[in-house]
């Protein structure tokens, strides 16, 4: 059946359908051109400012100076209400087109096909890069592990060589866990093992169309099963948990509901007070209609997120990084890390629609986590109920999660032991920068062990007191 035959079978007037589609298409094109004009205008203005500047040191790289000018201009413009309106106008027009097409013709298989094509473009890029840099044999995981739990696409990885107190890393759902074990020299997992910890990783896997129904509650249920498995394998009643980015959000929620299973919590670069998250992506997230997006597509496409990440600063996140690569092309360790990060960066999984909608609407827009309005399975999530030792980790120049948003967690929990660790650099630098591996992660391991020991002593004293009372009775 052709589209025209399908429309006629639904008794819909073709002229009206075509007129509305044409109007929405024109609106989408108009918004897209305005967005393009915003970027090109900033590039042109930065170039003109560079050419008109007086007194610039001859030793200063003109290209870097122009990039710095563009950084400031992009940061201001892309957070503005004007740009947010442009973005929402474009998205609204596109979603309206999709809604009309969906009403008159089954477009689901076209959505799947187009998303597969987009994903293949990113995979082709990483294959080409691998060929050019001779990194075809570079393993995805730098450290060996055993899979000790599987549920659907979710796996629990237990890394070999670890000993001592267990720590569970809860990674974000909008990327894969590989950045925590990206290479031998840049492996957070290895630093923690070297620090004397027994390391476990929660791998959320690649969610697909069949997982669109998964909600925040489902993620919490899975996390609880995983925690119980870690307790079983490690033979420990309590474990330490490290939540990174959106994984930190879920970890906080979990800790408020099941703190008795944890002896310490680490929140790393996770948005907590969303009113204080003024990063570009947070501003955009607060502007879009997540409910409508999920209603149309059922999920948030991973490659669409990749494009959004690039649009924060197209020149710096495309041209600049390849110039840096060229400068250090003879540094094999740098080249391999560069490729490993690129491979990780463009392997973004689909985010289930229900979960994505809850995160955007309830947290980014409603800020319900710190306001005490969020509920999971009918239970109110109260951050004040968290009284276990808390470590907050931030990157000083994080442009994905504002440090102020993460640090705000200390104002909303009841923990007596609160510590903050910070390093220069950005969001990903927490995992791959030299200073992170030389200073941050050894300190994190020592803190976890110290708090785990204190927890063990408290438990032993509690049992001793309890036993003494029973004997007296």
Query: Nearest Cα to 426, choosing from 437, 417, 418, 436?
Result: 436
- Positions of E strands within 183-337: 197-203, 239-244, 262-268, 299-300
Q: List the catalytic residue out of 277, 398, 412, 431.
A: 398
Give the gyration radius of the chain's Cα atoms. 25
d(CA 426, CA 47): 26
Calculate ∠ Cα 304-309-311, nearest 5°: 95
Which burial class, exposed, middle or buried, applies to 209 when counting CB atoms under 10 A from its CB (0-12, 13-18, 19+)? Answer: middle
Sign of torsion, CA 92 97 103 107? negative
Q: What is residue 139's three-state secondary structure?
A: coil
List the catalytic residue out of 158, 362, 427, 431: 427
Q: Which of 245, 273, 306, 431 is catalytic?
A: 245
- Asked whether 235 and 165 are in contact (CB, 8 A), the reply is no
Contact 211, 153 (CB under 8 A): yes
446's CB contacts (< 8 A; 6+ apart) are 195
| Whole-number Å distance between alpha carbons of 316 and 122 | 18
* 267: its two tokens: 């929140």
| Residue 431 annotated to the active site | no
Whether the CB-CB separation of 391 and 444 falls below 8 Å is answered with yes
**Residue 424 phi/psi, 5° resolution?**
-65, 155
Q: Give yes or no: 427 in active site.
A: yes
Query: Any idea which residues carry the catalytic annotation?
Result: 245, 398, 427
């Amino acid at each position: 059946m052709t589209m025209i035959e399908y429309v006629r079978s639904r008794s819909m007037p073709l002229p009206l359908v075509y007129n509305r589609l044409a109007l929405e298409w024109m609106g989408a094109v108009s918004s897209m051109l305005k967005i393009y004009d915003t970027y090109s205008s900033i590039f042109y203005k930065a170039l003109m400012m560079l050419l008109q500047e007086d007194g610039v040191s001859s030793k200063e790289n003109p290209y870097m100076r122009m990039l710095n000018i563009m950084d400031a201009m992009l940061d201001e413009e892309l957070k503005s209400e004007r740009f947010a309106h442009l973005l929402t106008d474009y998205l609204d027009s596109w979603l309206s087109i999709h809604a009309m097409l969906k009403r008159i013709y089954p477009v689901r298989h076209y959505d799947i096909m187009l998303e597969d094509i987009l994903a293949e473009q990113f995979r082709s890029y990483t294959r080409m890069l691998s060929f050019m840099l001779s990194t075809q044999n570079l393993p995805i995981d730098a450290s060996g592990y055993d899979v000790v739990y599987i549920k659907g696409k979710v796996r629990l990885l237990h890394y070999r060589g670890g000993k001592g107190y267990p720590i569970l890393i809860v990674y974000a759902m909008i990327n894969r866990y590989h950045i925590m074990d990206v290479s031998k020299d840049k492996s957070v997992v290895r630093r923690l093992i070297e620090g004397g910890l027994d390391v476990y990783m929660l791998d959320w896997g690649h969610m697909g169309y069949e997982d669109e129904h998964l909600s925040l509650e489902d993620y919490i249920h899975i996390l609880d099963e995983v925690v119980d498995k870690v307790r079983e394998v490690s033979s420990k009643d309590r474990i330490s948990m490290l939540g990174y980015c959106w994984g930190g959000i879920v970890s906080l929620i979990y800790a408020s509901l099941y703190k008795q299973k944890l002896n310490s919590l680490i929140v790393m670069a996770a948005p907590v007070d969303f009113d204080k998250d003024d990063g570009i992506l947070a501003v955009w997230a607060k502007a879009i209609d997540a409910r409508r997006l999920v209603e149309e597509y059922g999920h948030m496409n991973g490659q669409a997120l990749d494009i959004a990440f690039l649009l924060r600063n197209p020149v710096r996140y495309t041209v600049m990084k390849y110039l840096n690569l060229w400068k250090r092309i003879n540094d094999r360790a740098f080249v391999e890390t560069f490729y490993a990060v690129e491979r990780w960066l463009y392997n973004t999984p689909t985010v289930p629609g229900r979960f994505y909608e809850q995160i955007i609407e309830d947290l980014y827009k409603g800020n319900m986590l710190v306001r005490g309005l969020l509920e999971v399975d009918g239970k109110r999530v109260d951050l004040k109920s968290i009284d276990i030792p808390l470590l907050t980790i931030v990157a000083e120049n994080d442009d994905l999660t504002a440090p102020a948003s993460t640090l705000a967690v200390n104002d909303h929990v009841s923990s007596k032991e609160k510590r903050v660790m910070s390093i220069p650099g950005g969001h990903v630098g927490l995992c791959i920068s030299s200073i992170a591996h030389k200073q941050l992660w050894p300190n994190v391991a020592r803190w976890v062990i110290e708090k785990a020991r204190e927890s063990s002593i408290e438990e032993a004293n509690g049992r001793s007191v309890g036993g003494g009372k029973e004997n007296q009775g």
